[in-house]
Structure 1
Amino acid sequence: MRITRVTTGDGDGGDTGLGGGQVVSKDSLRIEALGGADELNALIGLALTGELAEDVAEELGLVQNDLFDLGADLAVLETDKPAEGACRIEGAQVDRLGNKIDTLQRELGPLEEFILPGGSAGAAVLHLARTVCRRAERAAVALCREEVIGAQVIPYLNRLSDLLFQLARFQNEAAGQQETCWKKKDPGKDQ
């Protein structure tokens, strides 16, 4: 693909084009879902500018490419996708995330308490990315209630938010930063 022109002016009236040529409002559910994936990818790009453990950075690089696949999946209506060769999120990508989550869980051990987002700067950005991922997932769920979308879009985003949580934990450990646990308020005491 070659992009020869970024600004077309076609969207000045509040509409934009999908990959199959359809024109939709910029506030449509599909564009909201696409925007969520784009925002998440940009935030992961921001995370990659910081000091991250090599394993974390490597995984985030794969995720950024996956999110482009996910965006392409959302940018073309299911009815317009060719039988073969359509760019989409696939089960193997979802499985890769699940396997990485399991590996990290074995390395990190079980959580005994809820943890607060934060710790090292890298982990804090990954926690923020996790919340943006959940928002993107909610947008995809809203879209799938109205239109058919790729079968792996929602499972991928669901798995990715879990992975981002585990990567944040791993990043804190790699940075030597202890996680802060939630302190449940005792209803009988002022705190």
Structure 2
Amino acid sequence: MKKDLRFLCYPYMRESVSTVDFEIRTDSLTTRIGHAAALTKDMEGVQADLQYLQPMAYHLNGSVRGKLAISEEDLGQLSEMYDFYCEKVHDKIQSFVLPQGSEAACVLHVCRSEAKKSVRALHKVSLEREVPQILFDYSHLLANVLFVMAVYVNDQAGVEEIPFVSKSYPERKRRKNA
């Protein structure tokens, strides 16, 4: 008897390897990027960048189990995107800020968090199998791009960033990352 696929949301769900968790994390990231793109329809450049990043997150997803689909050129494009947004909000990313602001910026902060979770899931995969360094570089940079995009979107909406000063760690100047 043929298995009824309507009762199967993902064919690898029962695998015990961490690859499954990475794929589920990056699927969530891709979905959140789509949400952010929907909220930035009035910000043509941001929306176009998010529409570019959304399939790239799926390429990242498949690059562990399947064929490596992230290239040096892709990493270069992401790096250029990071530089563009950093240049626009340089003065606003010198300290840690709270993830708040406009709805689009808040969703971008959720995207950033999902990207970080994807990095962590990728690390778990690397404990079980070889993972190309470019996937780590891309996923870390993607989290940082999503952070600076969130700050940029707040800036464009006239929303001020709220610095966060930790009581747990000594204050230090923020590097250009999330």
* Separation of aligned partners in 2, 1:151 and 1:105: 24
**Partner residue of 2:90?**
109
Contact 1:120 1:175 (8 Å CA) reproduced? yes
Counterpart of 1:32 in structure 2 is: 21
Give a deviation string over 1:69-97, Cα, whole Å, max 9, x none. Answer: 11221232xxxxxxxxx451112111211
- Structure 1 pair 16–177 and aligned structure 2 pair: CA distance change class (3 A): same
- Counterparts of 1:39-188 in structure 2, within 5 Å, are 39-51=28-40, 53-76=43-66, 86=67, 88-110=69-91, 111-184=93-166
Q: In 1, are the aligned partners of 2:38 and 2:47 still within 8 Å (CA)? A: no
Alignment-mate amino acid for residue 64 of structure 1: Q
Normalising by the residue count of structure 1, what TM-score does the alignment of the two structures yield? 0.76
Relative to structure 1, the CA distance from residue 87 to residue 10 in structure 2 (aligned partners, 3 Å threshold; closer, same or farther) is farther
- Letter in structure 2 aligned against 1:41: T
- In the alignment, structure 1 segments of 5+ residues that lack a partner are 1-6, 18-23, 77-85, 186-191
CA contact (8 A) 2:40 2:46 kept: no
For 2:141, the aligned partner's letter is R
Percent of aligned pairs sharing the same letter:
22
Query: Which has more radius of gyration?
Result: 1
1:141-191 Cα distance to aligned partner (Å, 9 max, x none): 110121123442111110000000000011001111111112455xxxxxx
Say what the alpha-carbon RMSD is for the aligned residues: 2.3
Q: Which residue of 2 aligns with 1:8?
A: 5
C-alpha distance 160-28 of structure 1, shift in aligned 2 (>3 A): same
The DSSP-based 3-state class of the residue aligned with 1:168 is helix
Cα distance per residue 1:30-73 (max 9 Å; x no partner): 11111111010011111122135222111111111111211221
What is the alpha-carbon distance in structure 1 between the residues aligned to residue 59 and residue 166 of structure 2?
A: 41
Alignment coverage as a number of residue pairs? 162
- CA distance in structure 1 between the partners assigned to 2:102 and 2:150 by the alignment: 9
For structure 2, the 5+ residue unaligned runs are 168-178
Instruction: Report the Cα offset of residue 128 of structure 1.
Output: 0.9
